Amino acid sequence: MPIRDWKIQYRTIYDILYETPRVPLVSIEKAVGKTARRRLKEAVELQYILGPELRKRCYENLKEYVYFLNCKDPEIPYIRYREDPSVIYHAEMIGFSNLLLITRKKIDIEGDIILEGYRSDYHFSFAPNHSWETALERMRKKIETFDPRTYLPKGIIQTHFDEAIEWGKEDELLYRYFKYSLREPVSPVMKENEISKDKIYQFLDRLLETCTIATSYYPNRLPEYDPYLFMLETEYEDFIIDLFSEFPTTSYFFKILDKLFVYVLVPDEIIRPTDLKVTIKKLHIPLLLIDLQERGIIESKERAMIEYSKGKAL
């Protein structure tokens, strides 16, 4: 079967999982045929699809703390924080910050703090089924026609810092079990931890309240894209979220204090072409950001490229 057809099947599976993360395999088979099990396994192993995964919402008793740092020698703390049980995620970067930490609580930090604070909920985009050329053209048109007088906030990114939610030891254990694969079978965690089936399905039924479910898609496989994190100041955050959700790869968004963070995975040529013969018009993302700032849609912009990152099942 031609690879193009495989990709069509991967895309179909992504669309289904995005809507119904724990959809029975038989439903996927109805859409893509008897090879559904193999195609799903391939899509995940080859990193066309990530997830479905879970990320906690930012309730008072679940919230996570974020540090953006500049360290003299970031490799040393990066390696050290791999072993710190308080650290959920850490990344070494090049740009406005060279070390990012997400922690379960405030911790003692070495280095110059660029920004720190509790993160909001995450928002993950649905990757549209169109080309990069189409995405960039649609983004340019949206910027050109944006009118702040008609802008209506949607409240896409939420915070719950002053609200606690029911969350016990079994919830935490189940969260860690399902964090990077929501489609894991129920029986192993039920037997190994003596958790009742009722409790597990109660946990799963509450997911939209307690967690963000993230199913991500990368048409040419995740390793083919470069990860960038933008730190923006804007009064029009929902417009920015809508704008960067035009990318055909999954983007995600969150806030720290008054800063909006946009995490994108993009092909190298649309943000920093290495061919010296490429004209400035090919610097697509930098030019879009300049246009956004010149039109007053964003007040400031910073960016960083993520070199190494590590998440933990915490």
Predicted confidence at residue 78, as pLDDT, reads 79
In angstroms, the Cα distances linking 6 to 9, 17, 29, 32, 176 are: 5, 16, 14, 10, 31
Give the residue among 23, 41, 45 at the shortest CA–CA distance from 213.
23
* Measured CA angle at 35 (ends 11, 204), to 5 deg: 65
- Determine whether 33 is exposed, middle or buried from the number of CB atoms within 10 Å of its CB (0-12, 13-18, 19+): exposed
Tokens for 55? 């990320």
- The pLDDT value recorded for residue 278 is 46
pLDDT tens track for 220-267: 999 999 999 999 999 999 999 999 999 999 999 999 999 999 999 998
pLDDT score recorded for residue 311: 60
3-class DSSP assignment, residue 66: strand
For 163-184, write each residue's pLDDT tens digit: 999 999 999 999 999 999 999 9
Burial class (CB in 10 A: 0-12, 13-18, 19+), 92: buried
Question: Which pLDDT score, from 0 to 100, does residue 260 have?
Answer: 98
Residue 276 has pLDDT above 60, yes or no: no
The pLDDT of residue 52 is above 80? yes
What is the value of pTM for the model shown?
Answer: 0.91
What span, in angstroms and rounded, lies between the C-alpha atoms of 301 and 240? 12
Higher pLDDT, 128 or 275: 128
Domain coordinates of the chain in residue numbers?
3-46, 123-159+219-306
**Selected residue with higher pLDDT from 2 and 64:** 64
- pLDDT at residue number 310: 61
pLDDT mean over 280-309: 85
Span 10-22, pLDDT tens digits: 999 999 999 999 9
From CA 304, how far away is CA 93, in angstroms rounded?
Answer: 6
- Mean pLDDT of the 31-43 span: 92
CB 249 within 8 A of CB 133: no
pLDDT tens, position by position, 102-128: 999 898 888 889 999 999 999 999 999
Helical spans, DSSP H, in 154-302: 169-178, 186-193, 197-205, 207-210, 237-244, 284-294
Which H helix or E strand runs over 62?
none
